[in-house]
Amino acid sequence: MPEVTLDTITNLAKKRGFVFQASEIYGGLRSSYDYGPLGVELLRNVKEAWWRTMVQERSDIVGLDSAVLQARQVWQASGHEEVFTDPLVECRNCNSRHRLDKLEDPNTCPTCGQQGTLTDPRNFNLMFRTHMGPVDSDENLVYLRPETAQGIFINFENVRRTLRLKLPFGIAQIGKSFRNEITPGQFVFRTREFEQMEMEYFCRPEEAPTWFQYWREERMKWYLELGMTEGNLRVRPHEADELSHYSSGTVDVEYSFPWGWDELEGIANRSSFDLEQHAAASGEDLTYFDQDSNERFFPHVIEPAAGATRTTFAFLIDAYTEEEVNDETRVVLKLHPRLAPYKVAVLPLSKKTELIEPAEKIAAELRRHWMIEVDTTQSIGRRYRRQDEIGTPYAVTVDFDTLQDEAVTVRDRDTMSQDRIPMTGLVDYLRGKLA
Ligand code: GAP
């Protein structure tokens, strides 16, 4: 199969209704994207798969949904107001702006190619600013959160106390974050508004290295179990000069994107940095009392922090396949059934009422279990190809024999093999396949 290019994926995403440019009818808002009917399902399924693994199937992790807008002191205490910056340089020749640390040659403007035209770097804070209430004054300044993590730290004691949790335990959260990135790009890879899936795992200080290793392995398992190609994933430890201000050790889970290896998720050892900062700034006691050892201390934290939108993008790229079938190119999204936007397509062979009616009946039954689509347009071959292209694992064809034998044909997306299944056993058959 030829290498998947960024253009191939963006074109498919637009053509099939996964992702649209935001404000498209007004010429588009750069780096903002809307998730269409297919994209919203894929994104929801990625988040659902994460929540299931990280919260539902575990006895030691609970969920949270904290506000996007928090008191400004949160971001002062966390260090974001002071150091959540990127080095911004501007070209005196063409006025383009760049992140110095991402330039191949720090003396050459990548837009106009001129040498020696870039300004000295200045630290540009990535947090979006807005104001609470009608007055635009400094006292009313609030930030759109740049990470979901701080919402967890400031609720540490609320959650621990209300659920009477004992170490080690985790608090997980999925939600929108905002960063005024200097150079957003590569479609939905780096955007100014995005979704994160973060979990803070609180433990005894001396256990932090063990949990760090544990979460590194668990997170790799998650991608692999959802069908991501092993050869497209790697773990890369951060160099000392890459570490965030809060981290005493970070590894990135990286994916081999069309432009090269790039970050999917960071797993960081945040030590007790955040709890100590918030305790000092708020005056609240955020220590933990261990009744068994009779000790009081600040728990340490291991944080697996993934991007929901970025991960969704990676699953889309990874699933994209081109195959030669009867001298034609078949495009298939080989998405794991749990991630596929629609699990089943119902395709009546003709638009005649005698086939539409049983097809609608079957569709109504299947809808109670899964997201499905009924497609009555075009030839059956073209409809199969369209379902392949959006990753629907199974297509149920209702034909004229159905009227006699009360059975339907079920086609498998990946093998294209077909089974004849009695209508009465269809839900069980599909349930077995999709399990
Ligand atoms: N709480 C730690 C934290 O936020 P991060 O490495 O800055 O760490 C975690 O972000 C993940 O969020 C990244 O690995 C990436 O998947 C996603 N992410 C960060 N910035 C993003 C952006 N501008 N657009 C899309 N996803 C982004």
Please give the C-alpha separations between residue 259 and each of 13, 98, 255, 264, in angstroms, as whole numbers.
18, 18, 10, 14
Query: What DSSP element (H or E) covers 418?
Result: strand 418-422
Beta bridge partners of 143: 129
What pLDDT, on the 0 to 100 scale, is given for residue 1? 65
CA of 137 relative to ligand 1 center, distance in Å: 30
Task: Tell me which residue of 374, 415, 364, 222 sits closest to 306, measured CA to CA.
Answer: 222
310 lines ligand 1 (CB under 6 A): yes
Beta bridge partners of 130: 142
- Of the residues 263, 269, 273, which should be mutated to test ligand 1's pocket, given the most ligand atoms within 8 Å of the CB? 263
Query: What DSSP element (H or E) covers 281?
Result: helix 273-282
Report the C-alpha gap between 98 and 435 in whole angstroms. Answer: 47
* % of the chain exceeding 90 in pLDDT: 94
Q: How many CA atoms lie within 13 A of 382 on its CB side?
A: 5
CA of 34 relative to ligand 1 center, distance in Å: 18
Report the C-alpha gap between 193 and 31 in whole angstroms. Answer: 8
Report the C-alpha gap between 35 and 193 in whole angstroms. Answer: 12
Mean residue pLDDT across the chain: 96
Q: What letter represents residue 176's amino acid?
A: K
pLDDT, tens digit only, all 435 positions of the chain: 668 899 999 999 999 999 999 999 999 998 899 999 999 999 999 999 999 999 999 999 999 999 999 999 999 999 999 999 999 999 999 999 999 998 999 999 999 999 999 999 999 999 999 999 999 998 899 999 999 999 999 999 999 999 999 999 999 999 999 999 999 999 999 999 999 999 999 999 999 999 999 999 999 999 999 999 999 999 999 988 888 787 778 999 999 999 999 999 999 999 999 999 999 999 999 999 999 999 999 999 999 999 999 999 999 999 999 999 989 999 999 999 999 999 999 999 999 999 999 999 999 999 999 999 999 999 999 999 999 999 999 999 999 999 999 999 999 999 999 999 999 999 999 999 998
- 3-class secondary structure, 411: strand
- 3-class secondary structure, 165: coil
Query: Are the beta carbons of 251 and 236 closer than 8 angstroms?
Result: yes
CA of 192 relative to ligand 1 center, distance in Å: 11
CA of 342 relative to ligand 1 center, distance in Å: 28
181 lines ligand 1 (CB under 6 A): yes
CA of 332 relative to ligand 1 center, distance in Å: 29
Mark 280-299 as b/e (b = at least 16 C-beta within 10 Å): eeeeeebbbeeeeeeeeebb
Helix, strand and coil content of the chain, in percent to the nearest 5, comes to: 35, 30, 35
200 lines ligand 1 (CB under 6 A): no
Q: Give pTM, 2 decimals.
A: 0.95
Task: Tell me which residue of 33, 358, 341, 348 sits closest to 191, measured CA to CA.
Answer: 33
374 lines ligand 1 (CB under 6 A): no
Task: Tell me which residue of 214, 188, 189, 184 sits closest to 199, measured CA to CA.
Answer: 214
Query: Are the beta carbons of 9 and 317 closer than 8 angstroms?
Result: yes
Query: Are the beta carbons of 99 and 182 closer than 8 angstroms?
Result: yes
Mark 80-114 as b/e (b = at least 16 C-beta within 10 Å): bbeebbbbbbbbeeeeeebebeebeeeebbeeeee
307 lines ligand 1 (CB under 6 A): yes
Task: Tell me which residue of 13, 46, 12 sits closest to 307, measured CA to CA.
Answer: 46
| Lookup: tokens for 165 | 């949790």
Task: Tell me which residue of 248, 237, 168 sits closest to 200, measured CA to CA.
Answer: 168
| Residue 431 exposed, middle or buried by CB count within 10 Å (0-12, 13-18, 19+) | exposed
Which ranges constitute the DSSP H helices of 283-392? 308-319, 353-367, 380-390
Report the C-alpha gap between 82 and 125 in whole angstroms. Answer: 8
CA of 148 relative to ligand 1 center, distance in Å: 10
SS3 track for 26-89 = HCCCCCCEEECHHHHHHHHHHHHHHHHHHHHCCCCEEECCCCCECCHHHHHHCCHHHHCEEEEE
Peptide bond connecting 168 to the previous residue in cis, omega within 30 degrees of 0: yes
What pLDDT, on the 0 to 100 scale, is given for residue 431? 97
Instruction: Give the nearest ligand 1 atom to 192 CA.
Output: 23
